[in-house]
Amino acid sequence: MKNAAFGFTFGALAGIAQVAAHTYLSHVTLDGTRYNEGQCIRPYPKDRNFPVYDPSSKDLTCGTNGINTVAAQTCAVKAGSVITVEWHQLNDSAADLVIDPSHVGPCLVYMAPLSSGGAGDVWFKIFEEGYDPTTKKWCINNLIANHGKLDVKLPSDIKAGDYLLRTEIIALHEAFSNYATQSATPPEGAQYYVNCAQVSVSGGGDVTPQGYAIPGIYKTDSPGILINVYLPFGTYTIPGPPVYVAGSDARSLSSDSQSNDSGYNSFEEPLTDSLSGDGDLNETPLSSTPSSSSTAYALRKCHS
């Protein structure tokens, strides 16, 4: 009976830790106006901060059931302006930790014409930030330090019109495991925190950037998706297509400095090299510091 009670208590704690570790898009600021869920941001299911695990799932487009929901507003924004996207674990209070610091990984932002419904080769990337080998910080570390806020510049030459704005964090703390071949419950592998907002772009030019399909941009063994962040860093490739920069289909200089040319981490080592004999991880993620106030970090083996 005691063991059963312990199991229930531990399971309950693991569930609490799982929720506390995760994140969701809580606000967007467009041309100085801050909007929340249900305004520009598409409404969420009950478990709003739970990730997508399968990169081939339709949920990768806008999050769990996100492609089937509609925001109350499609909010106005000018082409070329800087918007702010804002993530939180549970709410936007001062005590909110944004995301558990163990969940290191890149931040990405995409756009697609709203009329497409997100289907087909319609998504173009407008922002990415991965790992900076100089500061030894991931985008997640910077996001936490900035209270969940990330500034993103919209391309100045895209056509005016209504768009889906897709924000994404890819957490890599269990990305040493290939989702397609693992059998853990909950599953292991990269975790995709995806949400969509609806924006109406004015001004701009006449450009329709090259589009890509979501799902379709990632595979479970893609560079930057299947990766062991507990091993020494070599190079890290930010997954997905190149960033669209106004006037060019090439990556921007800032994107180059955050991806292939600056020495990041690609998965080259077997999982067994990062584990001790009892299956425990030998290290915390590089550049990541456990949060003393976070139960989730302590229960990482419960698949937060």
Mean pLDDT of the chain: 79
- DSSP one-letter string for 218-242: --TTSTTTS--TTSPP--BPPPSSP
**Apex 22 CA angle, 91 and 185, nearest 5:** 145
Q: What is the pLDDT of residue 67?
A: 81
Enclosing H/E stretch for 29: strand 24-30
Beta-sheet strand order (sheet of 149-153): 33-36, 24-30, 82-88, 149-153
The whole-number average pLDDT for the span 244-257 is 57
Q: Read off the pLDDT band of 301 (50, 70, 90).
A: very low
Cβ neighbours, 10 Å, residue 290: 15
| pTM score, whole prediction | 0.78
What pLDDT digit, counting tens, does each position of 135-154 carry? 899 999 999 999 999 999 99
The whole-number average pLDDT for the span 257-266 is 33
What pLDDT digit, counting tens, does each position of 165-195 carry? 999 999 999 999 999 999 999 899 999 999 9
Q: What's the length of the chain?
A: 304
- The structural domains of the chain, with segments of one domain joined by +, span 24-294
CATH number among 2.40.100.10, 3.90.380.10, 3.40.1190.20, 2.70.50.70, domain 24-294: 2.70.50.70
Q: What is the pLDDT of residue 203?
A: 97
CA distance 236 to 83: 26
CA distance 140 to 143: 5
Highest mean predicted confidence (pLDDT) among 65-69, 169-173, 181-185, 275-279:
169-173
Q: What is the pLDDT of residue 285?
A: 60
CA distance 26 to 44: 10
The whole-number average pLDDT for the span 52-75 is 91
Question: Hey, what amino acid is at 156?
Answer: S
Dihedral, 251, 252, 255, 259 alpha carbons, nearest 10: 50
CA distance 5 to 90: 28
For residues 127 and 152, the answer to whether their CB atoms sit within 8 Å is: yes
Q: What Cα–Cα distance (Å) separates residue 26 from each residue in 111, 120, 152, 153?
A: 18, 27, 16, 19
The whole-number average pLDDT for the span 206-215 is 97
Cβ neighbours, 10 Å, residue 117: 14
pLDDT at 161 over 50: yes
CA distance 227 to 225: 6
Partners of 125 in beta bridges: 110, 243
Least confidently predicted of 97-111, 147-161, 251-265: 251-265
What pLDDT digit, counting tens, does each position of 13-62 carry? 333 344 457 888 999 999 999 998 889 998 876 666 789 999 999 999 99
